[in-house]
Amino acid sequence: MTARGIPVGAWIGLAGVGLALVCAAFAPWLAPYGESEIVGDIWQPVGGDFVLGTDNIGRDLLSRMIYGARTTIFVAMAATLLSFSLGTLLSFTAAVLRGWPDQALSRLNDLMMSIPTLIFALVVLAVLPQEMWILILVMAVLDSTRVFRLGRAVAVDIAVMDFVEAARLRGEGTVWIIFREILPNALTPLLAEFGLRFAFSILFLSTLSFLGLGIQPPAADWGGMVRDNKDGIIFGIPAALIPGAAIAVLTVSINLVVDWLSNRTASLKGGRS
Amino acid sequence: MAELLEIRNLRIEATIWPPGEAARDVPIVDDISFTLARGKVIGLIGESGAGKSTIGLAALGYGRGGVRITGGEVRLDGQDILSLGRGGLRSVRGARVAYVAQSAAAAFNPAHRIGDQVIEAAIRHGILDRAAARRRAAHLFEVLGLPDPERFGARYPHQVSGGQLQRAMTAMALLPGPELVVFDEPTTALDVTTQIDVLAAIKAAIAETGTAAIYVTHDLAVVAQVADDIMVLRQGRMVEHGPAEKIITDPEAAYTRRLVTVRTAEGAEAEDQSDRLLDIDGVTARYGELTVLSDVTMHLPRGQTLAVVGESGSGKSTLARVVTGLLPPAGGRVFYRGRPLPPALRHRTRDDLRAIQMISQMADTAMNPRHTVAQIIGRPLRFYFGLRSRRRRDRVAELLHQIELDPSLAHRYPAELSGGQKQRVAIARALAAEPEIILCDEPTSALDPLVADGILKLLLRLQAETGTSYLFITHDIAIVRAIADSVAVLHRGRVVRFGPKREVLAPPFDDYTDLLLESVPELRTGWLESVLRTRRMGSAGH
């Protein structure tokens, strides 16, 4: 694989994701000020003493953005990984075993999906203590219902293929069939879905933070920053738009990278589809 | 007499994107020239990838799946087809040149009645009005030997058999009175007993309408029955072109000679068939309410080959599923070395599973596309014998050597292998388990004749070396003749005939075996007529 083989879109995506990751990893060194340090007046304009201005209580917006990248990406990534592990494992198990395990899991999944996600999350998070791991867990469980749907549909198709039958004839156990026969062949659609789901996770986290049930102040996260600064929009102050734009750019970048990855894995090894 | 179709220096290209390399154009068909007079039939023959279908479609000015006609001329009655625009081509296609596809089942729209689809082209082109088209359709249905020709068109595609649908498609092509019809493997997907009827119907219809035809097939015996001329193709280039009689009896090119004498695999029939390794005793199998096998009894002697022969729907693949335990039988039992095998897969011991291995028809789908050859062959070694790392690698190389493949292929993925190589890897995977019995479910029917012959030879050699027994499922009598020791003929889920090959394939026959045997095309012109004549005499005598 040479650098020239990567299409322009993928480069843009890689640059965007790379920037966000660097910010997340090296936040304390990159940020000019502390995460919740009040350094100036409220809503100071862009440029001047502060590159992106200050927020509603006079904290440096650039520093908050950099620290926010860390929280936002970590929580969204953890929630997405967890939801994929959970959703994929359960859906593949359902598809391979069929019969009553399939029925039980699928109906439970339908039940979960029939409750609107945001309301579900709001109720659960309002009741439970506000800790980050609980937030991640709730997001992951809610998201895993979507992964389950996709995973089961893909796996049911693969599970009836001759090579899975050959594995059954050999006497292979369910674990081998799930992880060695089905998973590698389901990777392409799952990867594409991963990109989408990660983007949705960021949006969902931002929504929760905006509603006050996500990341708790004074910790910075992009969705929460939009909420903090939303009143400024009325006075023509762009402080709320900057984290909003960051969310949009990261979402688009991730999808560009995932598109490229899923094309690549599909063309290699003569994968199915 | 003026030639109807004239193809000169035809060149067709496609763009390929090899992984990790720049895209490039490769020729699919190169420098093909031939002419076809009115009312004559030319047969295009070759293995898959020879470009025969592509040439056939080029006669309609059509390039399928991104291929482009980049050079040469295609003239229909003096008119250059390739220079026609979209509108011009539309007026030619379906009206003056028609096409009959390989799979009629896939080519008919399941949501419309057959009759409406058959007359559509003629009405669209304004050749006939609806009433006249219907009358002509009924007439063609009759010529093609379809039942109840007046009302046949009112049925939907799923209500008729595959052979009938193929004939309906021929009627569709012939209805507007085209000057040229392209038949693209019209009988390949059919059973032999059906193939002979369709072949006769097509031949009669061609004679009746006086249309010219391009007949594309990989089966030399089939094309010999319908074609006046034959062109042999290989990898997009012409190998030999001449009158059908001459190509068959006196081929010049070495490749054609190999095609003509393709069956070289031959095993001697074992004399002693008393040592029973596998006994299938009174097996009845159902899918839900549908009984697929009823009271099937046969046995497989040790170290020998039992061929199970039958047409599609005869239950022969279901028998394999019963033996492997994928489908527990509704009645009867399977004995292995005199001991009853547990009916369901999950109750069998690992050693039972090891002893019975399977090779399936589609090597493509039988191997995980994301595993390398080494992983595919290595897994049974690890699973059954616990071989690891170095010893497993060595054994994989040994097995690859045994199936006549280069050990360097071990790191390839199945998609990077040819059809024959894939089937060989599947055989190696079965051998890796050191089985007593290998179930071969039509292992050669998806392969080209020369490749298939190589696989059969390999199987015979392996049997001689390892003493493995084969339960060989096939629809091809020629294969049965070549490799079987004993034969079971299945018809609609019942064993019609079972015994040593010399008894099963010798008269007196029962009606079904007789029909099956005489339907196998023979490589001589006039075979079709002689069979049909005997049949008529037979039915007149009854």
Answer whether A171 sits within 8 Å of B367, measured CB to CB.
Answer: no
pLDDT digits (tens, 9 = 90+) for B162-188: 888 888 998 899 898 899 999 998 887
| Distances from the Cα of B130 to the Cα of B136, B142, B165, angstroms | 10, 18, 21
Range scoring the smallest mean pLDDT among A48-57, A67-76, B67-76, B435-444: A48-57
pLDDT for res A270: 43
Average pLDDT along chain B = 87
What are the pLDDT digits (tens) for B395-422?
999 999 998 888 888 888 888 888 889 9
Q: Which of B342, B307, B306 is nearest to B323 (CA)?
A: B342
Residue with tokens 């629809």: B475
B469 has a pLDDT exceeding 90: yes
Portion 342-371 of B in contact with A at CB < 8 A: 345, 348, 350, 353-354, 357-358, 360, 362, 365-371
Looking at the complex, does the CB of residue B326 fall below 8 Å from at least one CB of chain A? Answer: yes
Chain B residue with minimum CA distance to A169: B353
> Residue A221: left if φ>0, alpha if ψ -120 to 50, beta else—which one?
beta
CB of B200 within 8 A of CB of B529? Answer: no
What domains, with CATH codes, occur in chain B? 3-260 (3.40.50.300), 276-506 (3.40.50.300)
Distance CA A129, CA B91 (A): 74
For helices B419-432 and B389-402, give the axis angle rounded to 10 degrees. Answer: 130
Q: Of B16 and B155, which is predicted with more confidence? A: B155
Whole-number pLDDT of residue A271: 40
Q: What's the pLDDT at B19? A: 61
Instruction: Report the gap between the CA of B431 and the closest CA in chain A (Å).
Output: 12
Q: What are phi and psi of B291, to 5 degrees?
A: -85, 120
Q: Token pair of A138, please? A: 């709730």
Q: How far is B369 from chain A (nearest CA, A)?
A: 6
Q: Do A271 and B369 touch (CB under 8 A)?
A: yes
- pLDDT tens per residue across all 273 residues of chain A: 456 677 888 899 999 999 989 988 888 888 888 777 777 777 777 777 777 878 878 888 888 888 888 888 899 999 999 999 999 999 999 999 988 999 999 999 999 999 998 999 999 988 988 888 999 999 999 999 999 999 999 999 898 888 998 999 998 888 999 999 999 988 888 888 888 888 889 889 888 888 888 888 778 888 888 888 888 888 888 888 888 899 889 988 988 888 887 776 655 444 433
What is the CATH architecture assignment of A9-34+49-270?
A: Orthogonal Bundle (1.10)
Rounded to a whole number of angstroms, the distance from the CA of B317 to the nearest CA of chain A is 13
- Considering only CB atoms, which chain B residues are within 8 Å of A270? 369, 413-416
Q: How far is B435 from chain A (nearest CA, A)?
A: 11
> Chain B: nearest CA to A88, how far in angstroms?
18
Question: Does the pLDDT value for residue B20 go beyond 70?
Answer: no
pLDDT confidence of residue A29: 87
Which residues are CB-neighbours of B463 under 8 A, at least 6 positions away? B267, B303, B305, B469, B470
Q: What part of B 11-40 touches A (C-beta under 8 Å)?
A: 17, 19-20
Q: Which pair of tokens denotes residue B8? A: 């000169």
Q: CB distance from B396 to chain A under 8 Å?
A: no
Residue A161 touches chain B, beta carbons under 8 Å:
yes
Domain ranges of chain A: 9-34+49-270
In the sheet that holds B290-301, the strands lie side by side as: B290-301, B276-287, B331-336, B339-340
Taking only the tens place, the pLDDT of each residue in B221-266 is 888 888 999 999 988 889 999 998 888 888 888 888 888 876 667 7
Q: What is the mean pLDDT of residues B122-141?
A: 90
Residue whose C-alpha is closest to residue B311's, from B218, B187, B192: B192
Among B345, B413, B429, the residue with its CB nearest the CB of A168 is: B345
Strands B68-76 and B180-184: unpaired
Q: What is the pLDDT of residue A101?
A: 92
**Distance from the A77 Cα atom to the nearest Cα atom in chain B, whole angstroms:** 27
DSSP string for B130-159 = HHHHHHHHHHHHHHTT-SSHHHHTTS-GGG
Backbone angles phi, psi at B350, to 5 degrees: -60, -35
As separate numbers, helices (DSSP H) first and strands (DSSP E) second, chain B gives: 22, 20
CA atoms within 13 A on the CB side of B495: 19
Cβ separation B415–A267 shorter than 8 A: no
Judged by CB atoms closer than 8 Å, whether chains meet at B416 and A169 is answered as no
Contacts of B138 (CB under 8 A, 6+ apart): B149, B150, B152, B153
Chain B residues near residue A7 by CB distance under 8 angstroms = none
Say how many CB pairs under 8 Å bridge A and B. Answer: 64
pTM of the model: 0.81
Opening angle at CA B408, ends B406 and B409, nearest 5? 75
Write out chain A residues lying below 8 Å of B367, CB-based: 163, 166
Instruction: Please give the pLDDT value at position A266.
Output: 59
pLDDT tens per residue across span B266-312: 777 777 777 889 999 999 998 888 888 999 999 999 999 999 998 87
Q: Do A185 and B369 touch (CB under 8 A)?
A: yes
- For the record, the structure tokens of B349 come out as 């011991």
Interface test with A, best of B17, B359, B368, B373 (most A CBs within 10 A): B368
Query: What amino acid occupies position B115?
Result: G
Q: What is the pLDDT of residue B263?
A: 67
Nearest CB neighbour to B353, from listed A5, A161, A170: A170
d(CA B503, CA B273): 13
CB contact under 8 A, B369 and A162: no
Q: What is the pLDDT of residue A272?
A: 39
Determine the Cα–Cα distance for residues A58 and A54; give it in Å rounded to an integer: 5
